[in-house]
Amino acid sequence: KNQVEQSPQSLIILEGKNCTLQCNYTVSPFSNLRWYKQDTGRGPVSLTIMTFSENTKSNGRYTATLDADTKQSSLHITASQLSDSASYICVVSSGGSQGNLIFGKGTKLSVKP
Amino acid sequence: DGGITQSPKYLFRKEGQNVTLSCEQNLNHDAMYWYRQDPGQGLRLIYYSQIVNDFQKGDIAEGYSVSREKKESFPLTVTSAQKNPTAFYLCASSWPAVASEQFFGPGTRLTVL
């Protein structure tokens, strides 16, 4: 069964600290992996999209990694800010069409002053 | 939120009533999608459309209906047949290519009274 599992479920860190969120998937075939940021009560916003051949992709203070062999991805946030408080969602595409996206449940990050 | 709008932001419905959620985009995207988000769960696909006058059922289409008469509009009707309609509904759009980013609207929160 195609699944995307994220950990931890929730995380609290102090402003200025770094953190890493994990995503493990059992999706086959694999087309690409995306990370989205979702503020409470808002729609998700794309952070990165990585294909099979990409190991690392950065977007400002966000850096995503992908290990297609172990089927794992991580999202590293550097020098966290209060505005980073949100849910972070890992999404894997199994190809064919964009109707084949498998969404993780998300990690809820709280950044405290 | 990009160029996608959803209305209304909050919607209340009595049991047994049909209700239609609006989704409009000005990004000239061919593909549009409807997702449902429940607390503690990943987004689930209700319907998607890759071209005008064509749409496909997603994973949880029962109790929902859609139309795609115009490229920029993809309304979702929640019918009385949907047994548990209270949820956060998200509309998205993209280019049809598998690796294209999906842009999400701000969402509509539907509550059944």
- A69 confidence band (pLDDT: 50, 70, 90): very high
Note the pLDDT of residue A47.
Answer: 97
Residue B1 has pLDDT above 60, yes or no: no
The chain A residue lying nearest B56, using CA atoms, is A99
The answer to whether the peptide bond before residue A113 is cis (omega within 30 degrees of 0) is no
Q: CA of B86 to nearest chain A CA: how many angstroms apart?
A: 14
CB contact under 8 A, A43 and B104: yes
Question: Which chain B residues are within 8 Å of A102, Cβ to Cβ?
Answer: 42
Measure A35 CA to nearest chain B CA, in Å.
Answer: 11
The predicted-structure confidence for B27-76, as pLDDT tens digits, reads as follows: 999 999 999 999 888 899 999 999 999 999 999 999 999 999 999 999 99
Kindly report whether the peptide bond that precedes residue B39 is cis, defined as omega within 30 degrees of 0. no
Q: How far is A87 from A107, CA to CA, in rounded Å?
A: 5
Phi-psi category of residue A84: left, alpha or beta, with phi > 0 → left and psi -120 to 50 → alpha: alpha
Peptide bond into B8 cis (omega under 30): yes
Residues 6+ apart with CB under 8 A from A96: A31, B98
A4 touches chain B (CB under 8 A): yes
